[in-house]
Chains A and B, each alone.
Chain A
Amino acid sequence: MQEAIFSRMRWVTVGLALVAALVVFQLVRIQFGSDTGYFRDLGAEVSQQPREFAPARGRIFDRDDELLATNDVQYEVGINPNFVIAPEQVTRVLAEALGKPESEIEAAVASNDRYVLVARPVTAEVGEYIKRASATDGINLNGVSLTPIAHRAYPGGVLGAGTLGFVGYNQLNNQVGYYGVEGFYNDLLSGKSVQGIEQLVPFDTQPNPVPAQGADLVLTIDRDIQFLVEGILKDAVTRYGAQSGTIVVMDPKTGEILAMASNPSFDPNNYGVSPLPEPLNSGVTGQYEPGSTFKVLTMAAALDSGLVNPNSPFNDSGVIEVGGAQIRNWDGGAWGAVDMTGCMRHSLNVCMAYLSTSMGANTFYDYMRSFGIGSKTNVDLSAESPGHLKVPGDPDWFDSDLGTNAFGQGVAVTPLQLLTAIGAVANDGVMMQPHILKEVRNGDASHTTSIQPLGQPITADTARTLSAMLATSLETGEAQDALVPGYRIAGKTGTASIPVPGGYDETQTIASFVGWGPIDDPKFLVLVRLDRPSASIWGSETAAPTFGVLARRLVVLMQIPPDDVRVQMAAAQP
């Protein structure tokens, strides 16, 4: 009996030893055999996963460090039906949090899929609500998946929306900036992602790689001025029944854009809710025939080339023929004997056509090119249009264009392009590079952009002379609503016909005004453009008063003392 037991035990021992040997053999084979790679990959598949470590997108500030764009978090809510333990609780909590019918959540819980997307994106508040519910005793939300999503937040809502642009998601679900500053500086803002391996086994865990953070941008935009401009533009569009409008405010001495507003605008926090306005930022994209505001450049060229001076006489007969086309004044009348200041005061098309034809096409277009007409300003904003300037030799240029171009028809500019060109008149003949980036910050590194002259199309004398002419013509002309008591302002109205197939729209116009001040030490240069105003087609009755309202607030906001105070202060200084 005892012998039999020992015999069986021996067999059991042999069996166990064989099994153990088999296990050891398999271990050795897996570790060192030909299938090592396969097993290593299999192990890696469950213990680690490739992951893109994306940096936080840089923030955007205004020139006074007020936050214009920052990062927030939103969530994707999903359900893993196989892991749901308390379906009723999951259904109730998610239905409450998401405001969805319980039947929809029940269907997701009962699904045979491994993962069911319930809502994306949901706000941080909703996400926090679900988190709190999950942490509450007696509530089991096992199976509910709450995945954070990087989200761009614009605390100002529509404030500066066209200039800032917005951030969307590409096909890889990465954030990408579109339009405006977000689009132009996307590379700087987004930083550099790092491809790394996330170890799921704690034993192998390594610190996450640190990607190069996105840089923070400080803009030249002044949030207070931007807010003021948007409010005034909105009022103007409503009051004058305009289809849309644009206002750009620039510092003529530096080219810094202080405010740029378009109406209608959009909310970059919810850019997908309604169709985006077209164009998104008409300040740089919306090219148009400027009309009489362009006469500033024509007169600048005529003065600078020595063709005329402010007192040069001109006898306006009310009509002039250029290249077979008869050009008439805006009112169809003849103004008789006037000087160059009078030509500007009464905005005489005939006078301007006379000046351009007297200069000759080469000189006139050379000046226009020097002013940057027909070329992009290369402002640091996305989607800039170059405008359009036809010149002799172009297939679409005709002799009559020399006459019509002189008063801003047959030539297309963007508001920023025209403002940059006229900035030369405000800034002693020097045209400044328009820009919106003031500073870049990234950790300890900081970079401040330098101001840059684009060129000097006219002399300082010409610029000062023309400024004085425009101030005088404004003070005695039809657009006195643009004036600010106590401050000498220069400016020019524009009422441009809108080209349509086969000619020009007979009933609607683009009303505009370009002005700057104080003319002895310009602090602001403003372009107001109202598209198709119904209350009045004239720039002097729509855009000029809008400029006046804005300028009266600007001098307070920018703390610009009246001319007499500044003169006293200057005199008191040693």
Chain B
Amino acid sequence: MQQILRRKSMLGQVREHVSGLVEGLKDEIDTMQMDILQSNQVLRAFRQAPWRIQTQTLAWLSILILGTLVVGGLYLAVASRAGNAGRDLQAYETAKTELVRENDRLRAQLADLRNMDRMAARALGMGFVPATPEQVHYIEVANYPQEPGPEPLPVTVSVPVPETADEAAAAAMSARADQGWLTQSLTGLYETVFGAGKGE
């Protein structure tokens, strides 16, 4: 009985001790929570400090401005190069036009210097005179290359003499239809030069 009572007493003591320990732990936990709470408050206060927000804002603005400057700079560089290229192109077009004009002018000047009046006057001035047939002597040169004669006629058309005026008119119309030579030739020519079926 006494043992039971002793054990009960011991259990009570243990229980009290444990309770004490638990209470102590609770107190420590509360203390720690308080500490944590206080730490969070400090941290929040730190985070929400005006100088820190301003610094961040300033940083973001700086990044934005820097980005804008980089993009704008790139754009300006590209635009500047495109502008320069365009200006060069305009200059080349102008130079090309001027060179074509100059070329034309020189060609006209050269042709003017070869003008028949000028050439004839120079020849006469140098003592040349037009040759007469009697002054020309032809000599035969063996195997001398002959100038090619005219192209052979495509067709030698034999036109029978018409018996009546109507037939004659028809024949004349037929012959005039050969003005097709010109129409066809010109059409083919135009297509050769400017291409077929191209509008303005």
Q: Do A and B come from one complex?
A: yes
> Hey, which bits of chain A sit against chain B, CB under 8 A?
56, 66-67, 70-73, 124, 148, 153, 155-157, 159, 187-188, 191-192, 199, 201-208, 212, 215, 223-224, 227, 251, 253-254, 304-305, 362-363, 365-367, 369-370, 372, 375-376, 378, 380, 391-393, 430, 433, 435, 440, 442, 445, 447, 449-457, 484-487, 552-553, 555-556, 561-562, 565, 568-569, 572
- Whether the Cβ atoms of B168 and A365 lie closer than 8 Å is yes
Residues of B73-132 whose CB lies within 8 A of A: 79, 82-87, 89-90, 93, 97, 100-101, 104-105, 107-108, 111-112, 114-117, 120, 130-132
Known contacts A202-B87, A365-B168, A430 near B156 by CB under 8 Å: yes
Question: B173: shortest Cβ distance to chain A, in Å?
Answer: 9
Q: Given contacts A369-B169, A430-B153, list 12 more A-B pairs with CB under 8 A.
A: A67-B114, A72-B104, A72-B108, A192-B194, A378-B179, A433-B181, A445-B192, A447-B192, A450-B154, A456-B157, A486-B134, A556-B136
Bound-state Cα–Cα, A153 to B91, Å? 27
> Cβ of A445 and Cβ of B193 under 8 Å apart?
yes
Determine if A450 and B150 form an interchain contact, defined as CB atoms under 8 angstroms apart: no
A555-B133 in contact (CB<8A): yes
> In the bound complex, do residue B140 and residue A485 qualify as a contact, i.e. CB atoms below 8 Å apart?
no
Contacts of B168 in A (CB 8 A): 362, 365-366, 369-370
Q: From B11-19, B31-39, B59-67, B159-167, give the one contacting chain A.
A: B159-167
Roughly how many angstroms separate A453 CA and B104 CA in the complex, as a whole number?
A: 39
Interface secondary structure of B, over-half rule: helix
Q: Which of A56, A227, A440 has a CB less than 8 Å from the CB of B104?
A: A56
In the complex, B178 has a CB within 8 A of chain A? yes
Contact of B156 among A208, A453, A486 (CB under 8 A): A453
Complex Cα spacing A56 to B107, Å: 14
Q: Is the CB of B150 within 8 A of A207?
A: no
CB–CB B153/A453 < 8 A: yes
Q: In the complex, are the beta carbons of A455 and B175 less than 8 A apart? A: yes
Q: How far is the CA of A304 from the CA of B164 in the complex (A)?
A: 16
Tally of chain B residues near chain A (CB < 8 A): 67
Q: Are B189 and A440 touching (Cβ within 8 A)? A: yes
Instruction: Indicate if the CB atoms of A447 and B165 lie closer than 8 Å.
Output: no
Partner of B131, one of A304, A369, A370, A556: A556
Contact of B158 with A by CB under 8 A = yes
B86 neighbours in A (Cβ, 8 Å):
199, 201-205
Chain B positions 32-62 with a Cβ under 8 Å from a chain A Cβ? none
CB distance from A389 to the nearest CB of B (A): 10
The reply to whether B190 and A188 contact each other, CB–CB distance below 8 Å, is: yes
Question: Which chain B residues lie closer than 8 Å to A367 at the CB level?
Answer: 161
A118–B141 CA distance with the chains assembled, in angstroms: 65
Contact A561 B138 (CB under 8 A): yes
Of A227, A370, A435, A451, the contact of B120 (CB 8 Å cutoff) = A227
Query: Which of B83, B87, B133, B150 is A556 in contact with, Cβ under 8 Å?
Result: B133
Q: How far is the CA of A205 from the CA of B84 in the complex (A)?
A: 10
B196 at the interface (CB under 8 A from A): no
B82 to chain A, nearest CB (A): 5
Specify which chain B residues have a CB less than 8 angstroms from the CB of A457 in the assembled complex: 159
**Contacts A365-B165, A451-B151, A568-B140 hold; do A67 and B192 have CB atoms under 8 A apart?**
no
| Known contacts A370-B175, A372-B175, A552-B133; A205/B192 CB under 8 A | no
- Asked if B72 is at the interface (CB within 8 A of a chain A CB), the reply is no
Choose among A363, A451, A561 the residue that contacts B150 (Cβ–Cβ < 8 A).
A451
Tell me whether B188 is interfacial, beta carbon within 8 Å: yes
Task: Please tell me if B5 contacts chain A, counting CB pairs below 8 Å.
Answer: no
| A410 to B123 Cα, complex, angstroms | 47
B107 touches A486 (CB 8 A): no
Chain B residues, CB < 8 A from A362: 163-165, 168
A481 vs chain B, min Cβ distance (A): 15
Nearest-CB distance from A129 to chain B (Å)? Answer: 14
Known A215-B193, A251-B150; contact A447-B157, beta-carbon cutoff 8 A: no
Does the CB pair A562–B133 fall under 8 Å? yes
B133 near A70 with CB under 8 A, answer: no
B6 is an interface residue with CB less than 8 A from chain A: no
**Is B192 in contact with A366, judged by CB distance below 8 angstroms?**
no
Q: In the complex the two chains form, what is the Cα distance from A265 to B158 in whole Å?
A: 40
Give min CB distance, A174 to chain B, whole Å: 14
For residue B4, CB closer than 8 A to chain A, the reply is no
CA distance A223 to B86 in the complex (A): 47
Please, which residue of chain A has its CB at the minimum distance from the CB of B82? A203
Shortest distance in angstroms between A60's beta carbon and chain B's nearest beta carbon? 11
Say if the beta carbon of B21 comes within 8 Å of chain A: no
Contact indicator B171/A370 (Cβ below 8 Å): yes
B-side contacts of A452, CB under 8 Å: 154, 178, 181
Q: What 5 A-B pairs have minimum CB-CB distances, sorted nearest first?
A: A202-B86, A155-B111, A205-B86, A378-B179, A366-B168
Closest CB-CB distance, B154 to chain A, in whole Å? 7
Residues of A with C-beta under 8 A to B82? 202-203
Q: For the complex, give the distance between the alpha carbons of A289 and B193 in Å.
A: 41
Asked, given contacts A212-B194, A370-B159, whether A156 binds B154 with beta carbons under 8 Å apart, the answer is: no
Chain B 166-186 per-residue mask, 1 if CB under 8 angstroms from chain A, else 0: 011101100110110110011
Q: What residues of chain A lie closer than 8 Å to B130, measured between beta carbons? A: 553, 556
B175 partner residues in chain A, CB cutoff 8 A: 370, 372, 454-455
**Contact yes or no, A155 B154, CB < 8 A:** no
- Shortest CB distance A256–B (Å): 8
B155 contacts A453, C-beta separation under 8 Å: yes
A363, B161: Cα distance in complex, Å = 8
Contacts of B105 in A (CB 8 A): 72-73, 124
A393 to B153, CA, bound (A): 37
CB contacts (< 8 Å) of A556 on chain B: these are 130-133, 136
Q: Report 9 cross-chain contacts, Cβ distance below 8 Å, ordered by A residue.
A: A188-B190, A202-B90, A205-B87, A366-B165, A369-B171, A370-B159, A375-B176, A447-B189, A449-B185
